[in-house]
Structure formats: C-alpha cells, structure tokens
Amino acid sequence: MEQNKIFMYVSQWAFKLGEPGLSLYTFDTETGGIEFVEQVNDKLSFGRSLVDQEKKLIYLCNECDIFPEVPYNTGRVYCYAIDPATGGLTEKSRKETYCPFTSYLNTDPEGKYLMVSNHSMGNFSTTVEITENGVIRPVLHHHDSLMNLFRLNEDGTIGDLVDIAKHKASDELTFTLLGKPAIPHPHSVMRSPSGKLYACCDKGDGHLYIYAIEDEKLKLLSRTLTDEPGSEPRHCAFHPTLPYLFVNHEHTPGDQLTVTTFRYGEDGSMEKISILHLDPTEHEPKEPHRQQQGLCISKDGRFLYTQAHGYDLLMAMAVETDGSLKQIQALPIDGIWPRSLDLSPDGRFLICCCLEGQIIVYRINNDGTLTDTGHHGFTKGAGGVSFFDPH
C-alpha cells in the first residue's frame, strides 16, 4: 500500500435508514481521498469501534438486542485481529454485555480494561401488585441499564466481565420530551487526557456520570445534570490540555441545540460554567424534531464540532481559553441523518457519516471552519469510522 494511504473501517448501524455490517476503505492522509475496498461484514449491526494500533486489533460494539441462540436480551462486544497487508479481519473474541444495544466502548491507557456503555431498551413490562393496605397498582419494569468493565487479556482479546454499574431510574416516574417514561440510557463513554476519568452521557436521566477504575471496579465519582431537566446528553469530549469537558444533547426542551461546558477536577468533580445555544436560524428545519448527533474536538482543542440532525448541519465552534464556546459556522451537510463525526489520525480532516450512507470528508481550515474536500463515499447505515495505519 502507498505510504500516504491507511485503512478506514466504517461501522454500519441497522436502524431505519441503515443496513448492518462493516466496510473497509482506504484513506489518503494527504488529500482526504477515500476508496472502498470490500464489505468485511454484512450480518452484524455495528456501532462504535476502536482500534489498538500496537496490537493490531479492532473492538466493535454490536448494537442489537437479541440473538437467536441466546435466551435473554443482550448486546455484544467483538475483538478482531487486523491483517496489516489487506485490512482483513479475523474474529478473536466476543462477549455478551447482558444489556441490549451496546453503544460505546473505550480502553484504559495501559490496555488492561475495556469499558462499555449500553443504551438499553425503552420498552416496559407491567406487573400488578396488591399493597399491604389492599391497594391494587401497576408496577413498571424495564431492562437494567449497564456500564460494563471487561478485563483485557495480554494479547488484547476481551476477557472476563469483572464489574458492572447500573444506572437506575428515578423512584418518581417522569417522562421524556417525546412523552415516554424516562429511564436510563447510558450512551457514550470517553476517557480523559490523564486516563484517570471516564465520562458517560446518559440520554435517559439527563446526567453526566464520571467513573474511575479502581481495583477492577467501576467507581462512580460524580453525577451531574447537564442542562434543563428532560434534556438528553448524547456525546462528550474532553479538551486535550485544559480541564474542560463539552456535552451535546440529542433533545432539549424546545428543540434547542445546546452544548454545555464543564470545568472538571481529577477527583471527578464537575462545575458547569456555560451553555451555548447554537443558532441554525438561517437554515430551515427538515424534520419535526431537531437533535444533535456526533461531537468531536480538534487535536489542538481550539475547535469543537457537532451535527444537527433535523437541519442536516455541521456546527463549528471556537473554544476560548476559559472554556466558553462561540459558534463560527453552520454548514449544510450533503447527506441524510448525520450520525457521527471522527477526526483523521493527524487531525487535518473531519469525517462525517450519515445513516442513509453518505460519508463526507471535510478539511479543517486554520480558522476552524470546514470545507468539503469533494471526497465522498457511500455505505448504507454509515455510523462511525476508525483508522489503522499498516506502515
């Protein structure tokens, strides 16, 4: 393979516009050009992925709720070995998460553990009970909403599940902005630059959870409401050098597009310092409900990017030294249902995936604005990318 080309894996999410699978592309690090190589998998619905460059492995979330051979609802995580010559994959291990819709994963800096978030399901079952006072009442039950901690073997394959943390529903039944009972939905998990903290956005209860790994256990350090009650935090991004953490939202009251900035401490403490209301008013909404999807911060921490589904916009923000944000661009996306944002390894390009299948490569300009390179691909259900350098 040419020196300036690396492999790019596109995970495919089988939901509404999508189809299951995993596609392999080459990515030109000089121009941002992408070329389809092959369909690596067409059976499994994959969410986020993570590459271990040193061990030549890729970890994948199998974002589903049921397998015919398993008598309970669950998602899975997979580990594949990467062939540096072809980019082909060989399955090395798989583990069930015991919770539906496994959505995100991350490793610790030493490669000893894999932390996994599970979105879980929004449906309920109802039982009826008679209280001690003779009152007959319905009781709602829902799936556990889990964070998993897996031990990684020395070769990087996925080992035993060593701990779980349950996100619990409120004792008082509340409802989301869409009129559904509000239950936890852990969605994403991001590692801090120090490697000591792990931030999880819970779309169901509206809180940001901060964890640490201690003695093979998940230790909850803090739990903080990210915006108004009813808002659904989706993704977060740590600043690479300053003590700031940014959170976007899938839904907020009034369909506002908001990004919250926190100042954090290495003890897991969180201080909310600002909320930016993005302004898409020059662009007409295309959907009744507007929501943010992917979130990404530039390598130098100067710029932050989010996707506005419903408007089909990329929103660029400048990051000030005090952590506040300033909108600098609202760029229409040539795609339907933007789903994810990922940086190229050198940070020069931003890759936007859309569920209908569009993969769009943008150049990040010196002022933080984005320019479409003209390099596009199409993979049905495109939901995120990860890179492997074979050189």
Please give the CATH topology (third level) of the domain spanning 5-388. Methylamine Dehydrogenase; Chain H (2.130.10)
| Tally of CB atoms within 10 A around 365 | 12
Domain ranges of the chain: 5-388
Residue 177: what pLDDT? 55
Which phi and psi angles does 371 have, rounded to 5°?
A: -130, 130
Tell me the per-residue pLDDT of 50-86, one tens digit each, with 9 for 90 and over. 999 999 999 999 999 888 899 999 999 999 999 999 9
What does the pLDDT average to over 351-361?
96
What type of residue is 215?
D
- Within a 13 Å sphere around the CA of 221, how many CA atoms are in the beta-carbon half? 17
**Three-state SS at 246:** strand
- Within a 13 Å sphere around the CA of 316, how many CA atoms are in the beta-carbon half? 22
Residue 141: what pLDDT? 79
SS (H, E, C) 15-49: CCCCCCEEEEEEEECCCCCEEEEEEEECCCCEEEE
What does the pLDDT average to over 146-150?
98
The pTM of the full predicted model, rounded to 2 decimals, is 0.94
Q: How confident is residue 356, by pLDDT bands cut at 50, 70 and 90? A: very high
Q: Count the residues in the chain.
A: 391
| Tally of CB atoms within 10 A around 2 | 10
What does the pLDDT average to over 21-39?
98
Q: How confident is residue 126, by pLDDT bands cut at 50, 70 and 90? A: confident
Tell me the per-residue pLDDT of 187-233, one tens digit each, with 9 for 90 and over. 999 999 999 999 999 999 899 999 999 999 999 999 999 999 889 99
320 pLDDT exceeds 60? yes
* Helix or strand (DSSP H, E) at 344: none
CB contact at 8 A, 339 and 382:
yes
List the structure tokens of 217.
């256990």
CB contact at 8 A, 190 and 106:
yes
